[in-house]
Structure 1
């Protein structure tokens, strides 16, 4: 770990080495979580309707977990394009490091434009199915775990505190 840190700082410095890609990652995280938590509220109401539960506050841990599962479907549509760009930029950088060719510098915006020109809007959603398959079970356990443990915190009765 120390060797890796030392090499990173020597080769790329603090800003580019330790914080490269921070701005797009923050923007992606804000977008994903905005959609996730907005959808979570609607999905809680949907699960209430399906289960005959009177209010979101009365949803069981399993009901909240199911709501998180469904909400992740919607947030995957904001996450997928940013994950695609991030992964492709990382792969390009790795190829440039390992190969003998001169490094090609491509910004996230340039790569997005290249994908859009070549494949259209659907090109930005390559990998959507695997993203959905990763996110939905993950958020099932995230929201189920959060809401399940929230019941044990003093002063809370579960749902609505997310």
Structure 2
């Protein structure tokens, strides 16, 4: 007896817009399906998702192809870059400029709230409340207050830090010899990063002074980076740009030592855990490892350097005329106490973790782009190339 209800086959033909000419094709497609297998033709959303996935894969392949073309063209123009040559250190310096300048500028809204809460813990209850108040009072541009000195300062600092680290790491490794380097590599990472950051902070300090004052004065005391520099120099002389240098060293040198040493250690641990060796993994996998190692390193950096970060913000915004660094530090600590040194830590952990992960990913992607190996990895075993 014929059923009163239409079969699934007829329903599919009716609602999918198929004609009767599609019936043989439909039967051929469904003939081999088991009773346990889901039938894609009954779920139009399924095919839409597959189409989107296929298009995304094609776009990704196209992007990789364009990246390879641009990379090959750049490498031909630049010529062969020998490891630890002046050209190598120049490439690492440029990679550091890209990694730090861009990432610090992107997180300016988080940095703005962090600095204001460090100066006055009662100013905002949370980040979203802060951004809402700033946006309503100053517009979208207000949320990015201080982006100019941030970009220029951390571009200078990033170039000197990453390029300097590559130089000093090799310099100290050569001093102790290859065998001792593998024994005491963490000490080499710490010494190399500290030396690089010592120099990098001299370039960063003037821009950091302008940034902090711009972010912690309402309305901002200057609208542009150059305007801020001229204002400080006019009132306090060139020394006014460097009065936060000692606290900056106190914040940035431990921060960078933790950043580079922990990154190298975490990346080596990841590759030791994964099957095979580092060279078995492609560019995407290696930069994913770089991001992971950088994020973990960033969390540790934020914790280690946060008290000094609070003090730098306080000194740049709340130091009295003619007051020495030691006297100002003592006065501020009496005002805020030990607990006050940790104001804004959660937001800084998120900010620095994300920022550091992105920095290492960008830096290593640039090294790949220039035909150079990514940073870190397990030491080669004896007897292996």
Alignment of 1:34-73 (within 5 A): 34-53=159-178, 60-73=185-198
Cross-structure match for 1:161: 375
CA distance 1:156–1:150, shift in 2 (3 Å): farther
Bigger relative contact order (CA 8 A; separation at least 6): 1
CA distance 1:23–1:118, shift in 2 (3 Å): closer
Q: 2:228 aligns with which of 95, 111, 127?
A: 111
Deviation at 1:119, TM superposition (A): 4.4
Task: State the Cα deviation string for residues 34-73 of structure 1 (Å, max 9, x = none).
Answer: 0101111121122113323379889713311221122110
CA distance in 1, matches of 2:254, 2:176: 20
CA distance in 2, matches of 1:104, 1:29: 21
* 1:76 and 1:131 in contact (8 A); partners too: yes
CA distance in 1, matches of 2:234, 2:186: 45
**How well do the aligned residues superpose, as a CA RMSD in angstroms?**
3.0
Partner of 1:161, secondary structure, is coil
Cross-structure match for 1:99: none
Q: Which runs of 5+ in 2 are unaligned?
A: 1-125, 272-276, 280-372, 377-385
Partner of 1:142, secondary structure, is helix
Cross-structure match for 2:239: 122
Cross-structure match for 2:262: 145
CA distance in 2, matches of 1:61, 1:108: 38
* 1:112 and 1:124 in contact (8 A); partners too: yes
Task: State the Cα deviation string for residues 7-60 of structure 1 (Å, max 9, x = none).
Answer: 22211222x232222233122221110010111112112211332337988971
CA distance in 1, matches of 2:172, 2:142: 45
Cross-structure match for 2:156: 31
Query: Is 1:92 aligned to 2:306, yes or no?
Result: no
CA distance 1:117–1:5, shift in 2 (3 Å): closer
What's the TM-score once normalised by structure 1's chain length? Answer: 0.76
CA distance in 1, matches of 2:250, 2:221: 32
Larger Rg: 2
What's the TM-score once normalised by structure 2's chain length? Answer: 0.35
Q: Which runs of 5+ in 1 are unaligned?
A: 97-102
Cross-structure match for 1:7: 133
Deviation at 1:111, TM superposition (A): 2.4
CA distance 1:76–1:56, shift in 2 (3 Å): farther
Q: Any runs of at least 4 consecutive aligned residues in structure 1 with deviations exceeding 6 A, and if so which?
A: 54-59
Task: State the Cα deviation string for residues 67-103 of structure 1 (Å, max 9, x = none).
Answer: 112211011111111111112223432xx5xxxxxx8
* 1:48 and 1:54 in contact (8 A); partners too: no
CA distance in 1, matches of 2:131, 2:235: 37
Query: Aligned pair count?
Result: 152
